[in-house]
Amino acid sequence: MGDPSFILDGMLGSLARWLRIAGYDSIYYRGLDDNLLLVEIMSFSRIMLTRDRELFQRSQKLGLRSMYLESEEVKVQLSHLKTELGVELSATNSRCPRCNGSLRKTPKADVQDLVPAESFNAFDEFWVCGACSRAYWKGSHWEKIRETLDST
């Protein structure tokens, strides 16, 4: 069956970012009409995550896979997904937190124009998003990301 993929409503942008970091294909719609969001869920066979109780109830009546997340706290939301859906929280196969694209390990020489000189000189491993061309590396923020995922 593979890993679950998600559609998140406009109230869950931070959660979408964290799910992407954990490697989950997560589409985030900000400002999309609820009816269009439901059509998207039907079209792509994804699990909808929402903080909108009415939207959740509508999705249930339509027989769509969905989950209502009561908490506003991302760590609590991640913990709930881990418990209820078996979502594994590891940053080993991250997706682009910004656009959800796939990341590919990229030779250092190929990212020189994409990263700040300080980061280019300090690090040897880089990943680039195949969709938006944004570059990533395991900078000082990396340990905080790992701590957040490990403690959830």
Q: Where are the domains of the chain?
A: 6-85, 103-150
* Structure confidence at residue 29 (pLDDT): 86
* Structure confidence at residue 2 (pLDDT): 64
Return the CATH architecture of domain 6-85: 3-Layer(aba) Sandwich (3.40)
State the alpha helices, DSSP H only, in the chain. 13-21, 34-44, 53-61, 74-85, 117-122, 141-150
Give the Cα separation of 12 and 151 in Å (integer). Answer: 20
Angle at 45 between CA 56 and CA 8, to 5 degrees: 45
Query: pLDDT over 70 for what percent of the chain?
Result: 99
Please give the DSSP secondary-structure letter assigned to residue 116. -
User: Which three-class secondary structure state does DSSP give residue 47?
Assistant: strand
pLDDT tens for residues 16-32?
999 999 999 999 988 88
Collect all residues with Cβ–Cβ distance below 8 Å to 94 and sequence separation of at least 6. Answer: 20, 21, 22, 23, 103, 127, 136
pLDDT tens for residues 60-112?
999 999 999 999 999 999 999 999 999 998 888 899 999 999 999 999 999 99
Q: Identify residue 95 by its one-letter amino acid code.
A: R
Q: How confident is the model at residue 1 (pLDDT cuts 50, 70, 90)?
A: very low
